[in-house]
Amino acid sequence: MKTAKPAATGHPVTPAPAVAAADAHDHHAHHDAHQQSQEAALVLADEYCRERGEKLTPIRRKVLELLLNSGRATKAYSLLDEMRQIHPGSAPPTVYRALDFLLSAGLVHRIESINAFTVCHDLTQCQHGILVVCQQCGSVTELHQPKLRQALVAQIEDAGYRLASDEIELKGLCAACQAANAATAAGADAGAPVAAAK
């Protein structure tokens, strides 16, 4: 059974006044669907751990939930800050132990390039695909192209290297960040003074 990781644009969109009421209803429906999807993902993760003879303890579950809520790669100290809002006595080892468990169970990925963590798009059958990481907002997309991955690994090994981990990370800018950057650049160009003709 596969559970899709929530998509994250990282850029809030403000509805136009004429369609705000309809969009507010759509947003509420989307929020409800997102909550149901998250709860289903947590139930799936809990069942998966039990099948493995392990336990998704309340702390592990909460860290996984925080990552699901984030929808993008999140640094451990950000998770710790969020945990302290819920459980004021939370200490760094608590979060790191939970992350270690979630990593070993294949429920999350560590994004080495930005030292952050993200939920595996498939909570129970991680296939170690190729992770594409947005360097601006931290959103992560998993590409599951086994033949492409095998060809890439073969090329790496032919060059005399051995991968240090199962993860293959590619850096880039997601579509939302590209659009935001283009809008910012267009706004800056529009505001630039025009030289007077001589």
Whether 7 is covered by a domain: the verdict is: no
Domain identity same for 106 and 24: yes
Q: How many residues does the chain have?
A: 198
Whole-number Cα distances in Å, 168 to 27, 44, 131, 152, 178: 34, 25, 6, 9, 22
Q: What's the burial of 28, exposed, middle or buried (CB within 10 Å: 0-12/13-18/19+)?
A: exposed
Q: What is the mean pLDDT of each run of 10 residues along the chain (198 residues)?
A: 36 31 45 71 91 93 93 92 91 95 91 88 69 89 86 93 85 93 85 54
Query: Looking at the 3D structure of the chain, how many domains does it have?
Result: 2
Domain identity same for 156 and 101: no
As a whole number of angstroms, the distance between CA 31 and CA 25 comes to: 10
As a whole number of angstroms, the distance between CA 126 and CA 136 comes to: 25
CATH number at residue 84: 1.10.10.10
- State residue 127's pLDDT score: 64
Contact 48, 60 (CB under 8 A): no
71: which residues sit within 8 A by CB, 6+ positions away?
Answer: 5, 6, 7, 8, 139
Domain stop point among 121, 137, 171:
121
User: 80: domain range?
Assistant: 15-121
Domain stop point among 65, 86, 121:
121
Domain identity same for 76 and 172: no
- State residue 159's pLDDT score: 96
As a whole number of angstroms, the distance between CA 49 and CA 108 comes to: 13
- State residue 32's pLDDT score: 56
